[in-house]
């Protein structure tokens, strides 16, 4: 069985939209909280995070981490002072 078949986000009662930032000029702070709650309860969050890191996914919440958090996890550079963070967060 593929790990995706055991994903909490595959539940039809879970809105897949919560895993991605709203398409707005200014993304509201905390948009990712609902997704992270779902991921915490997910039986395959380690597999999911590993897949996102392997694929260098930059968008959305995977394995309970945002794209920015995954970037830092992989040792990506932190922004210098005054440089805007990715719009996702
Ligand atoms: S960790 Fe989150 S995004 Fe990944 S499969 Fe589970 S619920 Fe879906």
Ligand 1 environment, Cβ below 6 A: 7-9, 19, 38-39, 42, 44-45, 48, 61-64
Count: domains in the chain: 1
- Going from the Cα of 83 to the center of ligand 1, the distance in angstroms, rounded, reads 30
Q: What is the pLDDT at residue 79?
A: 67
Residue 49 lies in a domain: yes
User: How crowded is residue 27: how many other Cβ atoms within 10 Å of its Cβ?
Assistant: 15
Residue 9 lies in a domain: yes
Q: Going by C-beta distance under 8 Å and a sequence separation of 6 or more, which residues neighbour residue 38? A: 8, 9, 14, 18
Instruction: Give the domain extent around 47.
Output: 3-73
In whole angstroms, how large is the CA radius of gyration of the chain? Answer: 14
Residue 35 lies in a domain: yes
Indicate the pLDDT class of residue 22, thresholds 50, 70 and 90. confident
Which atom, in ligand 1's list, is nearest to the CA of 42? 6
Residue 52 lies in a domain: yes
Question: pLDDT at residue 88 above 60?
Answer: no
Pocket test of ligand 1: the residue of 36, 45, 67 to mutate, having most ligand atoms within 8 Å of its CB, is 45
Helix or strand (DSSP H, E) at 61: none
The residue assigned the tokens 């309860």 is 41
């Amino acid at each position: 069985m593929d790990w995706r078949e055991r994903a909490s986000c595959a539940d039809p009662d879970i809105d897949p939209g919560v895993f991605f930032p709203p398409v707005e000029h200014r993304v509201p702070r905390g948009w990712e909280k609902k997704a992270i709650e779902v991921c915490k309860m997910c039986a395959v969050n380690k597999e999911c995070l590993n897949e996102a890191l392997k694929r260098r996914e930059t968008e959305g919440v995977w394995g309970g981490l945002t794209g920015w958090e995954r970037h830092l996890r992989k040792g990506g550079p932190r922004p210098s002072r005054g440089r805007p963070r990715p719009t996702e967060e």
